């Protein structure tokens, strides 16, 4: 048996070489795995840095966009405010220029025929002096006034209502388009050139009878209410008319005291004066 084994020594020698080859192969595989793992780790770290960089860049872009939007919004508001301020300043300058250069018409009254009651009606004649105290021409000038009984509570409610109705109805009247033939088209007032106009005012019998009944005294008191309309020569056609509104009481002044008498509706009342109230307005 031993002789047989000694006679074949070559058969045992290949085994250690095979093992060494296998071990070497395994070592190579392990080294390759470690290298691959290291490469993968490095790649992951690099990718993480790239992702962080992208995230930071994206965040910066977002912040920049927000800041830009805020800046644009602020600039827009500033521009809007500046435009509004410029518009307001231009309007203020235009209004100031208008006030400085537009006509201003005032009116004064003088009784030239006393208040007279006849056949139950009342009549009185006034001389109106209209004067343009502004620097430019006033056109389409026309006026209205009337004698109106005071209300039973001694207020001017009825007179103010009638004044408002007439003034409002003629605020937008464009006399320049009314045919001249047979139509009243207003007149022109040059600066500081007074114009006189005779006006007949009064109340009919029906109005006076109603006022006497409401008073409960058989007497009546009067106010003179009226309005002057006009335009500036340089204003557009559709511009509303300027107006001077006024209300006077008919009364007397004795020893610096104003006396507004209750009058029996008959005869002639001389010595009456036009006493200004708070009803004067200009626009």
For residues 82 and 184, the model is more confident at 82
Mean pLDDT of the chain: 82
Quote the pLDDT of residue 128: 96
pLDDT digits (tens, 9 = 90+) for 132-172: 999 999 999 999 999 999 998 889 999 999 999 999 999 88
| C-beta of residue 171 within 8 angstroms of C-beta of residue 240 | yes
Beta bridge pairs of residue 97: none
Residues 235, 237, 239, 245: what is their CA dihedral angle, to the nearest 10 degrees? 90
Average pLDDT in the 7-24 region?
64
pLDDT digits (tens, 9 = 90+) for 234-270: 888 888 999 999 999 998 887 778 777 788 898 999 8
Q: What token pair was written down for 184?
A: 């009243």
Q: What token pair was written down for 90?
A: 């231009």
Dihedral over Cα of 15, 16, 21, 24: its sign: positive
């Amino acid at each position: 048996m031993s002789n047989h084994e000694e006679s074949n020594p070559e058969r045992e020698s290949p085994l250690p070489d095979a093992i060494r080859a296998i071990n070497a192969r395994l070592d190579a595989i392990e080294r390759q795995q470690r290298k691959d793992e290291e490469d993968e780790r490095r790649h992951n770290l690099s990718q993480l840095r790239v992702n962080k960089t992208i995230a930071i860049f994206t965040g910066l872009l977002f912040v920049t966009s927000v800041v830009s939007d805020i800046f644009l919004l602020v600039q827009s508001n500033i521009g809007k405010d500046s435009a509004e301020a410029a518009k307001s300043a231009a309007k203020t300058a235009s209004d100031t220029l208008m006030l400085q250069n537009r006509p201003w018409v005032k009116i004064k009254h003088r009784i030239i025929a006393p208040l007279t009651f006849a056949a139950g009606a009342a009549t009185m004649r006034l001389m109106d002096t209209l004067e343009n105290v502004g620097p430019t021409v006033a056109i389409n000038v026309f006026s209205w006034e009337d004698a109106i009984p005071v209300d039973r509570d001694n207020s001017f409610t009825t007179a103010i209502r009638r004044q408002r109705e007439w003034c409002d109805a003629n605020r937008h009247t464009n006399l320049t388009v009314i045919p001249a033939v047979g139509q009243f088209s207003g007149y022109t007032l040059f600066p500081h050139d007074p114009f006189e106009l005779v006006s007949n005012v009064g109340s009919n019998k029906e109005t006076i009878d109603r006022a006497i009944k409401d008073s409960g005294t058989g007497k009546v008191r009067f106010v003179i209410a009226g309005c002057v309309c006009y335009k500036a020569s340089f204003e557009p056609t559709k511009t509303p008319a300027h107006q001077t509104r006024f209300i006077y009481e008919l009364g007397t002044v004795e020893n610096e005291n104003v006396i507004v008498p209750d009058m029996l509706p008959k005869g002639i009342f001389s010595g009456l004066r036009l006493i200004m109230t708070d009803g004067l307005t200009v626009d």
